[in-house]
Structure 1
């Protein structure tokens, strides 16, 4: 976070104050944002490393949280921008990797679907045609889109639903993250026996997890069907899902029912070790971080955001000094303006320290969760 960025945003704040009474008109926040992007943002030589950008974050904060909370959230974001990126998830956004920091986070599980094992095709039939063998070969070579095209060709020639074909079609769809397509296709099965086959149901459950619907995924696994010889996989996946929800006692319950000959039993042991590490984590106390924030930057530093803490201390010091000298020289207009910004950044530093502690705790836990293993084979 550089000083010229803060100064440019002070100008944005003034625009917001001027426009705020008109925020009931839907286009007003956008007008301010567009003005900033056109005349201010392009002057700067660097792009914001976070998503959304600081200017867009500010406008969303003002629009969704109101004037006071908008100021506090924006001042906190400006203090944090460019520092301690290890506490944020990185995603590819419009061709560029950005650190995700949203005004409002979704309630659903944020962890994306990931495979811990290479996908391989699976045949449930002893006698399959050469065409289907070629379809399975494409999946083995991880040519998933080509395999999907071949699937549609086969279905055009013979629309009969078979477990080998449909199951591997679902696997190909999962590999390219077409989770909604799996759920849609499953709902259109004409063969009820195939629709309720445990192998198919398991893939549907995995698709719901891919959509960050962990509780729905567990609900699917509780379907009243005969899970036959894949019950160990069902229990292993169910335990994996409970771990995502921090319901670690239920993880132990599910794993305890898995048979000794389960092929990926080693994963379960490693997951238990990971869960033990999660439960033994030393948590930062958000309230304490907020109290420490009375000293600018101290709450951030306590929460592991050292660089942000130093930036907060310097920035609050500069704004405070500017306010003091303005009033001392009887420049009351500038003094009131810098005093307002100083207050916003100071209170934002306190609330930011509180949030930084929560972010630290979440980051620590999520880093361990990424080590949890389950084979999507």
Structure 2
């Protein structure tokens, strides 16, 4: 009897593993504030109360800090449970949370990263919800000043040095000072202003500046259109970016500009999983001597993407009749072992309790057993979709790294 209680306490302890991060209503992601509606603290969580959410809330408030252990997932398992039990029905929440517990901390390559105040975490939202783009970790990008002239004015040289040394806010202030002082439009200054806004993540403001402050005669400047295409790419408006890029390519006169525009085209097609068009872009890039190396590398990646084989969610679920087999099929090998062991132990505990006529304990372990078993089937099906998505994202990230975007 005592052994069974200890086992259930261990299961319960796993269930409510949590982190100190994420308890406040306002969070910081890479130094930027993330709105409440973008986190697991959505409005629905505060509207729907239950004994389950009360238990989780009690744990987070009074026990979490004592344990000194941090969940490697984001949101943490306790917050994941809090979200699912608050936003879905009890059975669905129980199954989804069981699946999460089986996956917690395993198979890191199958998850995107997010950078929290206490380090990197594996980003994993419930299947019915979509994480905000701000939560996905992105490596630092370096932005460089633009000039198609040999202007030697000290102020302009100073602005370029500020940008090239990543002092984007200071460069932006200096550009605004010069604009106010001269009271005239300068295309070089304006392009560098757009570059600074892009570097600071002020994408909408950059587009607003382009639409309202740029004279019509300059709106088709090749470099300016290219920078606007990059901003649309950052906003994931891939079709808009392709349209701008087509205009930039049509107006481009020098080889280097054409090469970087074509390079961006390849990445835009890849983000839409149009691998054949991406491949054609990288093939055409080979004609430019300055980009032959990146052309060859990205061509191999796009060809590899065309040969990717997806895992079937249906077969993943079917294989999960044997606990863990579906996870193994989708490349979640550590989770597969976890699912097999947890389901095996719970099955044995239930059988042993029935054999000893301890029906109360058998009922309790049986409920957990069914939950983890169904969670194993549900989770394997979702893991197939996660695997398919992650292998595409992995190639896209490599393409972006090679392209320096």
Q: 2 CA distance for matches of 1:202 and 1:362?
A: 28
**Contact 2:16/2:77 (CA < 8 Å) preserved in 1?**
no
Which of 215, 220, 225 pairs up with 1:196?
220
Name the residue aligned to 1:86: 109
1:341 correspondence with 2:368: yes
**CA 27–142 in structure 1, closer or farther in 2 if over 3 Å, else same:** same
**Contact 2:125/2:131 (CA < 8 Å) preserved in 1?**
no
**CA 364–333 in structure 1, closer or farther in 2 if over 3 Å, else same:** same
**Contact 1:148/1:172 (CA < 8 Å) preserved in 2?**
yes
**Contact 2:324/2:337 (CA < 8 Å) preserved in 1?**
yes
**CA 53–133 in structure 1, closer or farther in 2 if over 3 Å, else same:** same
State the 1:371 CA deviation. Answer: 1.8
1:139 correspondence with 2:166: no
**Contact 2:221/2:248 (CA < 8 Å) preserved in 1?**
no
State the 1:211 CA deviation. Answer: 2.4
1:75 correspondence with 2:102: no
Q: 2 CA distance for matches of 1:259 and 1:7?
A: 58
**Contact 2:123/2:136 (CA < 8 Å) preserved in 1?**
no
State the 1:315 CA deviation. Answer: 0.8
**CA 31–201 in structure 1, closer or farther in 2 if over 3 Å, else same:** farther
Q: 1 CA distance for matches of 2:172 and 2:393?
A: 33
State the 1:345 CA deviation. Answer: 0.4
**CA 276–111 in structure 1, closer or farther in 2 if over 3 Å, else same:** farther
State the 1:259 CA deviation. Answer: 8.2
- 3-state secondary structure, aligned to 2:122: strand
**CA 190–213 in structure 1, closer or farther in 2 if over 3 Å, else same:** closer
The structure with higher relative contact order (CA 8 Å, sep 6+) is: 1
Compare 333-342 and 162-171 and name the one that shifted more.
333-342
**CA 110–289 in structure 1, closer or farther in 2 if over 3 Å, else same:** farther
**CA 3–361 in structure 1, closer or farther in 2 if over 3 Å, else same:** farther
TM-score for the superposition, normalised by structure 2: 0.79
TM-score for the superposition, normalised by structure 1: 0.84
Compare 150-159 and 250-259 and name the one that shifted more.
250-259
* Unmatched tracts of structure 1, length 5 or more: 13-22
Which of 116, 126, 130 pairs up with 1:105?
130
State the 1:80 CA deviation. Answer: 0.7
Name the residue aligned to 1:290: 317
Compare 128-137 and 104-113 and name the one that shifted more.
104-113
**CA 204–112 in structure 1, closer or farther in 2 if over 3 Å, else same:** farther
Name the residue aligned to 1:20: none
**CA 267–11 in structure 1, closer or farther in 2 if over 3 Å, else same:** closer
- Measured against aligned partners, the alpha-carbon deviations of 1:178-199 in whole angstroms (never above 9, x if no partner) come to 3233223223314122233232
Q: Over the residues paired in the alignment, what is the CA RMSD in angstroms?
A: 3.2
Count how many residue pairs are aligned between Structure 1 and Structure 2. Answer: 364
Name the residue aligned to 2:231: 207
Equivalent positions of 1:4-19 (< 5 A) are 6-8=11-13
* Unmatched tracts of structure 2, length 5 or more: 1-6, 18-43
1:366 correspondence with 2:381: no
**Contact 1:147/1:172 (CA < 8 Å) preserved in 2?**
yes
Which of 23, 41, 47 pairs up with 1:26?
47
Name the residue aligned to 1:125: 149
- 3-state secondary structure, aligned to 2:213: coil
Compare 331-340 and 196-205 and name the one that shifted more.
331-340
Q: 2 CA distance for matches of 1:92 and 1:107?
A: 13
Q: 2 CA distance for matches of 1:59 and 1:313?
A: 25
